[in-house]
Amino acid sequence: MNPLLEIRDCTVRFGGLKAVSELNFAVGEGELAGLIGPNGAGKTTVFNLITGVYRPTSGDIRFAGKSVVGRRPYRITARGIARTFQNIRLFASLTVFENVRAAFIMHLSHGIFHALWRGPGFAREEARIDAQVMELLEIFHLGEARDALCKSLPYGDQRRLEIVRALATRPKLLLLDEPAAGMNPTEKQELMRLIRFTQEKFNIAVLLVEHDMRVVMGTCHRIAVLDYGVKIAEGAPDEIRKNPKVIEAYLGQEEPAHA
């Protein structure tokens, strides 16, 4: 069977810099996969390629058997890929509830005229969305905060809210860019549980970019390692941990920090 997401020989250049180079990588349906690498390795760039923010200089990206290269980001989301952002991008002037509600627009059956006329069909759909938003918020323990401005939430909650908002688009593949950043150890434990739970409950595939090794190793079945845009290793968490190339790539980065 074909994988859900398939990145084939993808290269992206920014001027003279090859941010991603000849990358081959696939994520299967319902799989929990990880993408790691030192700072500037090109992980976020891979996310931006998959979601259509950047276009690959060469290569192809296929999702559910069809190429997504050159599609506008909102169309790619409609095909079933949702993401969170490394530098949180919530809708700052909206409440927690409204942030999630905005992600339901894609699945609306009503449009301008229903919104103006407000017949029974409109009210029914709004009531249904209302209930679904609340259900999602409750799952992620954000129900209490529904009317709070999203800016006012603690950092960890904002990251979780971004996950909820992404899930509201009903994706088949969820891309998480450093969801544990800024979380304390308890929140990280809870996050790992939530990622696994999400994957099971909604039966979606997850691609996780994360610097916290404990989180990556504890959630993902398979991990790919990027260094300077090149994939240097791929395999199960145990293999990755022992891989000399990976150790070298990380040591090269971390040694000065320890000195």
Partner 1 sequence: MFERPKTLFAVAVALSFAVSKFSGGVNPYYYDIILSIGINIILAVSLNLVNGHTGQFSLGHAGFMAAGAYTAAAFTTFVPPHHIATTLFFLLALFAGGLAAALAGLAVGVPSLRLKGDYLAIVTLGFGQIIVVILQNIDAVGASRGFSVASGYTNFFWTYFFAALTVYVIVHLVDSTYGRGFLAVRDDEIAADAMGINTTKYKVVAFTLGAFFAGIAGGLYAHFKQFISPDGFDFFKSVDIVVMVILGGMGNTAGVIFAAVLLTILPEWLRTVSGCTFLPHWLRDVAQNRMILYSLLLIVLMLTRPQGLFGDARLFRRTPKFKKP
Least distance between ligand ATP and beta carbon 157 (Å): 21
The reply to whether 88 sits near ligand ATP by the rule CB under 6 A is no
- Residue 37's binding partner among partner 1, ligand ATP, Mg ion, none (Cβ under 5 to 8 angstroms by kind) is ligand ATP
Q: Which is nearer to ligand ATP, 36 or 153 (CB)?
A: 36
Nearest approach, Cβ of 247 to partner 1 (angstroms)?
Answer: 34
- Among 209, 202, 244, which Cα is nearest to 223's? 209
d(CA 33, CA 224) in angstroms, rounded, equals 8
Sheet with 222-227: strands ordered across: 81-83, 173-177, 205-209, 32-36, 222-227, 230-235
By CB under 6 A, residue 188 contacts ligand ATP: no
Binding site for partner 1 (CB under 8 A): 51, 53, 72-74, 77-78, 82-83, 85, 89-95, 97-98, 101-106, 108, 110-112, 114-116, 118, 120, 122-127, 129-130, 146-147, 165-166, 168-169
Q: Which residue of 23, 33, 41, 215 would you call a contact of ligand ATP, by CB under 6 A?
A: 41
Does 40 interact with ligand ATP (rule: CB under 6 A)?
A: yes
Spatial contact of 84 and 175, defined as CB atoms under 8 Å apart = yes
Determine the Cα–Cα distance for residues 192 and 208; give it in Å rounded to an integer: 11
Contact between 165 and 140 (Cβ < 8 Å): no
> Candidates 33-41, 97-105, 131-139, 167-175 — which segment interacts with ligand ATP by CB under 6 A?
33-41
| Site of interaction with Mg ion (CB under 5 A) | 44, 86
CB of 3 to Mg ion, least distance (A): 23
Of 110, 109, 91, the closest CA to residue 100 belongs to: 91
Q: Tokens 């790539």 sit at which residue?
A: 249
Backbone phi, then psi, for 61, in 5-degree steps?
A: -125, 125
